[in-house]
Structure 1
Amino acid sequence: MIRKQQRGEATVDQVLDAALRIYAASGESGLTVDAITKAGGVSSGSIYHHFGSLHGVVVALTQRWLGRLLEQLTNAITRSDDARSGVRAVIRAYLEFVQTHPDAARLLHSVTADREGMDRAEQIRDAQEARLSPIAEWINARTESGELAALPAPLIESLVMGPVVAVARRYVAVGDIDLDEAARELPDHIWQSVAGPAA
């Protein structure tokens, strides 16, 4: 049973790795079951067995990389002792992820991912709860201490991440932004919008 499960996990990895390579090379229009079977060395039956449909592959691929991004952000923010260093760390972690994983970043900031996010926001949030809860707890603790502005956590998240996501989108779509410069300049400007009275 364990060997069968390992084979199944290996097939899932093959499919998702192939799907990202195809997406990077050809965009969403190139992402077909036939292309995945050829690039991944798997059968179409395996794709339908593990993912249900091509759409299921795209959803799983997006979830995989969203989970990796959130894990990196969670690690960055929860290792920070004070609010200012946490805000700086999470901004830099996001931009570093985009720079290190440009193909995955392009997918996560695509119209496809946006559509999924709007259609399945609650399901996505539930699926990523283990990674999102520590961030929310960190924000709430710093809001209560006065280090962060007295705003609900979703507003703090939006004020911090909104500009960063906009920069990431522009970087993957147009490419006219220097991410190193953004990592130097954004944290202090964003910090000013969320700093609390005790900061």
Structure 2
Amino acid sequence: MARPPRFDSDQILDAAVRLAAAAGPGGVTMSAVAQAIGAPSGSVYHRFSGRPDLLAEVWLRTVERFQEGYFEALRSDPDPRRAARAAARHVVSWSRAHPHEASLLLYGAEEFGQSAWSEEHRDRADVGNRRVFASLRELAAALGAAGPLERDRVTLALVDLPLTVVRRHLRAGDMMPPYAEELAEECAAALLEVG
């Protein structure tokens, strides 16, 4: 009977997330991850064919976990204004609960080597992006945002603005203040009232 593997994919990806949070995507190498978990490099190569595969999985797992809660927030209330507020709040609360992952998301997929990803990984990223944009379009329509200015306002309120609240604190290495969720929610609501 074969011995169960000592290091699973999640342990490897968790270590890669910590490395990316500390040193950026450049800090995520096969040997650095192996060293971080006290494993031989072969254990990492057993799970991931090479660095592009590892970087793709680190990025996609993090984005997909974030998006899961974001979509839930967008569906949390039949009132589109309350759902919008919940989505803006989610960006901050998820980032507070997952600071390493949130730090990773301050980079883009390109910085995680997207051009070298497999077709399967690029397709996964595209599916996630299309779901986000479709959800934002649906919410914009429910809010009566008809033109490009109004739709951009929804994106600004629910994506860019809450990320700005998070980014400032994460980049400075500070704890987010206890009112950060409220601030993101109130600012998003105020911006959506303009339209």
Q: State the TM-score bracket (shorter-chain normalisation).
A: 0.7 to 0.9
- SS of the equivalent of 1:18 reads helix
Q: Per-residue CA shift, 1:107-161, capped at 9, x if unaligned?
A: 1113x645348858x987841566566655554444444x242245962324421
CA contact under 8 A between 2:140 and 2:151: conserved in structure 1?
no
- In structure 2, do the counterparts of structure 1 residues 142 and 36 end up closer, same or farther at CA, with 3 Å as the change threshold? closer
Q: Percent identity?
A: 26
Structure 1 unaligned segments of length 5 or more: list them: none
Asked whether 1:150 is paired with 2:146, we answer yes
- Structure 1 vs Structure 2 CA RMSD: 3.7
| Change over 3 Å in CA distance of 1:62–1:79 after alignment to 2 | same
Q: Which residue does the alignment assign to 1:86?
A: 83
- Matched letter for residue 88 of structure 1: R
Match of 1:193 in 2: 191
Q: How many residues align?
A: 191
1:22 equivalent to 2:39? Answer no
Asked if structure 2 preserves the Cα contact closer than 8 Å seen for 1:117 and 1:124, the reply is no
1:165 maps to 163
Matched-pair contact (CA < 8 Å) for 1:149–1:194:
no
- Closer/same/farther in 2, CA of residues 187 and 148 from structure 1, 3 Å limit: farther
The Cα of 1:38 is off from its aligned counterpart by: 2.7
Hey, what's the Cα distance between the residues in 2 that align with 1:125 and 1:26? 24
Q: Is the 8 A contact 1:77 1:90 kept in 2?
A: yes
Please tell me the residue identity of whatever aligns with 1:164. P
* Deviating 4+ runs (over 6 angstroms): 122-125
Return the letter of the residue paired with 2:163: V
Judge conservation of contact 1:143–1:196 (CA < 8 Å) in 2: no
TM-score (norm 2): 0.74
CA, structure 1 residues 138+82, in 2 after alignment: closer, same or farther (shift >3 Å)? farther
State the Cα distance separating 1:98 from its structure 2 match.
0.9
Residue 173 of structure 1, CA deviation: 0.5
Change (3 A) 1:159 1:96: closer
CA displacement at 1:70 relative to structure 2: 0.5
> 2:179, 2:122 → 1: CA distance?
31
Q: Distance in 2 between matches of 1:188 and 1:35?
A: 41
Equivalents in 2 of 1:190, 1:52: separation in Å? 42
Alpha-carbon distance between aligned partners in 1 of 2:131 and 2:109, rounded to the nearest angstrom: 23
Matches within 5 A, 1:50-199: 50-110=47-107, 113=109, 115-116=111-112, 126-128=123-125, 136=133, 138-145=135-142, 147-151=143-147, 155=152, 156-175=154-173, 178-195=176-193
Hey, what's the Cα distance between the residues in 2 that align with 1:129 and 1:33?
Answer: 25
- Give 1:48's aligned residue: 45
- What CA deviation, in whole Å up to 9, does each residue of 1:75-132 have, x standing for no partner? 111112111111110111110111111111111113x645348858x98784156656
Larger relative contact order (Cα-Cα within 8 Å, sequence gap ≥ 6): 2
Of 23, 32, 57, 2:29 maps to 32
Once residues 82 and 66 of structure 1 are traced to their aligned partners in structure 2, the CA distance between those partners, rounded to angstroms, is: 26
**Greater Cα offset, 26-35 or 179-188:** 26-35
